[in-house]
Amino acid sequence: MALSGVWECRAGGYTWNTLYEPNPRPSDVPMAISGRRKFDDDKVVKYETAEKDFEVEVSRTLNKWCVTVYQMPDRQILVQDFFPERWKALARAQDFLRLLNQRKKKEEEGLAGHRDDDDF
């Protein structure tokens, strides 16, 4: 069986001679789409603590989502954690932020409590 010089697929997109050229009618070629992605799915998300002394960042790294906690102002990395899904990484980032903000409040409450003891 011999192949002819020109072969055309049913959708009319590529021929044997133009295999690597772009499709003139991309809407004619069926595509496999596993799900729609939002345009902002790959954007880096940053959260700051109330005192702005820590920053929590969610970014895409290779095939995983990375949550990084930085100590400001020099952005020293304190913690990094990796997740297969974006929503899990965002949830963990918000958990980190909540814990960091609570820690600051507890330190302030602890200092206020010690000051009251000194008055006696």
Q: What single DSSP character describes residue 62? A: T
Extract the runs of DSSP E, i.e. beta strands, from the chain: 45-48, 54-61, 64-71, 76-83
In a domain? residue 88: yes
Looking at the structure of the chain, the number of domains it has is: 1
**In this structure, are residues 47 and 97 in contact, taking their beta carbons and an 8 Å threshold?**
yes
In a domain? residue 66: yes
In a domain? residue 5: no
**In this structure, are residues 83 and 89 in contact, taking their beta carbons and an 8 Å threshold?**
yes
Give tens-digit pLDDT for 27-61: 555 555 555 656 667 789 999 999 899 999 999 98
Indicate whether this model's pTM tops 0.85: no
In a domain? residue 35: no
The rounded percent of the chain whose pLDDT value lies above 90 is: 45
Strand pairing of 45-48 and 76-83?
A: unpaired
Name the residue range of residue 52's domain: 43-118
In a domain? residue 23: no
In a domain? residue 28: no
Burial zone of 96 (CB within 10 Å; 0-12 exposed, 13-18 middle, 19+ buried)? buried
In a domain? residue 37: no
Residues 6+ apart with CB under 8 A from 60: 42, 66
| Separation of alpha carbons 52 and 101, rounded Å | 10
Give tens-digit pLDDT for 54-82: 999 999 988 999 999 999 999 999 999 99
